[in-house]
């Protein structure tokens, strides 16, 4: 194996390892947020994708209100905008 091939193989493997570590760290933070499987269905289409599970690392939960009802507001940690609001029926 030539030196160039070996170097490009090492760089590719390093990038892959970094990508996997990034994904694992996002998953761990999502898991630590302690959301249920149903809560992580952010677009409420009835299914959970891997990206929705990873997105849970960037979503916070706080008390909110809507129409005089006490609700749970899920919001984006980066800008504070509401991702979803769950209110009792």
Count of residues in contact with Ca ion, rule CB under 5 A: 3
The DSSP code sequence of 20-86 is HHHHHHHHHHHHHTT--TTTT-TT-SS---HHHHHHGGGEEEEEEEETTEEEEEEEETTT--EEEEE
Q: What minimum distance in Å lies between the beta carbon of 52 and Ca ion?
A: 5
Q: Is 86 in the site for Ca ion (CB under 5 A)?
A: no
**Which listed residue (41, 58, 73, 86) binds Ca ion by CB under 5 A?**
41
Minimum gap (Å) between residue 46 Cβ and Ca ion:
7
Q: What are phi and psi of 74, to 5 degrees?
A: -100, 130
Comparing C-alpha atoms, which of 61, 60, 53 is closest to residue 30?
A: 53
Closest CB 42 distance from Ca ion, rounded Å: 6
Region near Ca ion per CB under 5 A, out of 8-16, 22-30, 33-41, 64-72: 33-41
Among 8, 12, 25, 43, binds Ca ion (CB under 5 A): 43
């Amino acid at each position: 194996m030539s030196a160039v091939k070996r170097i490009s193989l090492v760089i590719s493997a390093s990038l892959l390892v970094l990508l996997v570590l990034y994904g694992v760290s996002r998953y761990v933070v999502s898991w630590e947020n302690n959301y249920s499987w149903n809560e992580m269905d952010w677009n409420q289409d009835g299914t959970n994708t891997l990206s929705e599970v990873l997105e849970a690392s960037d979503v916070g939960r706080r008390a909110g209100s809507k129409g005089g009802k006490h609700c749970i507001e899920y919001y984006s940690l980066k800008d504070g905008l509401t991702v979803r609001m769950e209110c009792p029926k």
